[in-house]
Amino acid sequence: MIAREYFDALTNEARADFGIWALVALMVGIGAAHVASFVVAIYAFLVWWFHGEALMRKNLLHAVLHDLPSVLGLPDSPGEAVSRFRDDVDAVLETLDSILDTLGQGLFALAALGVMISINPAITAVVFLPVLTAVGAANLLGTRIQKRRAASRAATGQVTGFIGEIFGSVQAVKVASATRTLWLASKR
């Protein structure tokens, strides 16, 4: 809208009585405010993300150590537990981040839609129809993406568990070899 006023002022068709330099200063000020808000948002996001990760992992560990009966142990393999501590915490935070991003972008889109409709409703319809089609297609593909993500998480847990078992087996072989070596040395 400021750019419209700027170009209208250049052609002497301005609706408001701003000078060109006042409009340029306003655009520079808005740009500076945009950059400043972006820096503050990045800082706030990082603080929120790392505090959220730490709090959820702390609560998970507390649940494992204090709330589960110790005789039962973990319901899954150690690799699956590692995957849950790593991947599930990230999945929760990514979901919350996506919701907040979607809300913000939705509000921005509604404001932009209002401005565009006030300028030219026909062109607005032509612009927004492909956008709505793309959103509909993305929603249809969402269930496939969720199934693939769940399969990927399960496979990651199995691989992590297998790697843990390999390391445990190597350690068992080393201990057995050391025991046999000590037994042979004691026979001499």
Predicted local confidence at residue 177, as pLDDT: 67
pTM reported for the whole predicted model: 0.53
Coil, strand or helix at 179: helix
d(CA 4, CA 175): 78
3-class SS letters over 19-57: CHHHHHHHHHHHHHHHHHHHHHHHHHHHHHHHHHHHHHH
**H helix runs in 63-88, sequence order:** 78-83
Q: Please list the pLDDT of the chain residue by residue as tens digits (188 residues).
A: 666 666 666 677 666 666 778 778 888 998 999 999 999 999 999 999 999 999 998 988 888 777 766 656 666 777 777 777 888 888 899 999 999 998 999 899 899 889 888 888 898 888 888 888 888 888 888 878 888 888 887 787 778 777 777 777 776 766 666 655 655 566 66
**Close Cβ partners of 23 (under 8 Å, ≥ 6 residues apart):** 2, 5, 6, 9
Q: How many CA atoms lie within 13 A of 56 on its CB side?
A: 16
- Taking CA atoms, 100 is separated from 42, 103, 104, in Å, by 14, 5, 6
C-beta neighbour count of 80 within 10 angstroms? 19
